[in-house]
Structure 1
């Protein structure tokens, strides 16, 4: 009996889905087999993509057939990659700290720059936009409604930042505490943070539930195909 590729892929998906769902009865070898398969396939796919789309066309091919200037520019990343692989050898493990330090520094700089330019500044600008009467009138929205939205956003941002401010002063009694206003604003920020995390959790739960329903429907559809 000949089986089509569609049937074989469906049967494999059916089997892997059952292996993953077996975690409902606890950790077991079947679930670990599915996770190991997923990790192995993902690692192999990432390695293949890195070789075909990054290493070979962007590094090795220019080194073999590129101009002299291009070869010189590619020598530093090649040396860093070799030093990173040197961590696999215990005698040369210290040499691998150089590319790791470089990667950590670049990652920190990119993260900080991205946080400032992509989150902090746009967030501050978005908070101030509802208070710009001209822009509100131009959009045709209700000024009072936009002002209320802006006030809520401003209170949420400021109070959340105050919640993470741990500065305190020594009181007359000798203990160290925040000021009363600081504690009040931090309490409001705590409410905003709780609502935010609740919304995020609801979104994650809804996405997971949607994925579960899709898998159950797949199992039912596959069984009905016989």
Structure 2
């Protein structure tokens, strides 16, 4: 592809992308005003995009349009969410903040309940079920796997699951005048769980680093192709 094959929009977009990329890379040299300007533009565009998505996908179809289309008693039911939403704005004014406190407490309570329920039903129970299934000998034989190797693998996962959960166990029995601490076996089990957690976080960090490195390579490749197309056009 040469310079003459590029349209005006592609040329302007490529130049802007090249300039923004170089400005972002300039942060390696040191903080500067241009980098902060680009960062503010990026944050502003992201916030604007999120606001538009929320307005068109949440506020209008689920809050405003039902109120406008409701009639009679339906208006009462669909108007309550709008009324409670407006009460949240009272939190902006210290004198009237008490009006929004019950609504905020309700939102936080529902969010906490949904988070806990999602963690238990969507993470804890499936993890327990998957760990149990690792010791299903019939399934292991059907998959034509080595039984001993599969049991060793399942045992490691079982120990990692139990010890990781034990790491977050903080129930202790204290006596008057003595320092409260977990039992010795629980402390050892928590230490093993800490090791598994460290390994898990290390793998997550490695995955994030690999994804960032892949994005960097793709960006450099795009810049190289764009510069080559510019040079080839002259």
TM-score range (shorter-chain normalised) is 0.7 to 0.9
1:164-175 aligned within 5 A: 164-167=168-171
Distance in 1 of aligned mates of 2:137 and 2:23: 58
Summarize deviations over 1:44-85 as a string: whole Å, max 9, x none: 112222222222222222222234354222112101111122
Separation of aligned partners in 2, 1:169 and 1:74: 50
Deviation of the 1:3 alpha carbon: 6.4
Q: 2:96 aligns to what?
A: 92
**Counterpart among 146, 153, 166 of residue 149 in structure 1:** 153
Deviations 1:155-180 (A, max 9, x none): 11112222333455689xx7665544
1:182 equivalent among 170, 175, 186: 186
Is 2:67–2:78's contact at 8 Å kept on the other side of the alignment?
A: yes
Please give the per-residue CA displacement for 1:165-224, whole angstroms capped at 9, x wherever unaligned. Answer: 3455689xx766554433433332222122111111111111111112222222222222
Q: Are the structure 2 counterparts of residues 76 and 225 from structure 1 closer, same or farther at C-alpha, using a change threshold of 3 Å?
A: same
The equivalent of 2:221 in structure 1 is: 217
On the 8 A contact 2:131/2:154 being kept in 1, the answer is yes
Q: Which runs of 5+ in 2 are unaligned?
A: 1-5
The aligned runs of 1:50-69 (5 Å cut-off) are: 50-69=54-73
**Conserved? CA contact 1:83–1:98, under 8 Å:** no
Which has the higher relative contact order, 1 or 2, with Cα contacts under 8 A spaced 6 or more apart? 2
For the residues of structure 2 that align with 1:223 and 1:53, how far apart are their CA atoms?
A: 39
- Residue 203 of structure 1: aligned partner: 207
State the alpha-carbon separation in 1 of the partners of residues 129 and 83 from structure 2.
Answer: 43
Aligned to 2:163: 159
The residue that corresponds to 2:47 in the other structure is 43
Q: Distance in 2 between matches of 1:220 and 1:133?
A: 54
Question: Given the alignment of the two structures, is residue 27 of structure 1 paired with residue 31 of structure 2, yes or no?
Answer: yes
TM-score, with length taken from structure 2: 0.84
Take 2:179 and 2:68, find their aligned partners in 1: how far apart are those partners? Answer: 70
TM-score by length of 1: 0.86
Q: How many residues align?
A: 223
Pair 219,108 (structure 1): closer, same or farther in 2 beyond 3 Å = same
Shift, 1:90, TM fit: 4.1
Number of the residue aligned with 1:18: 22
Counterpart CA distance in 1 for 2:147 and 2:81 is 55
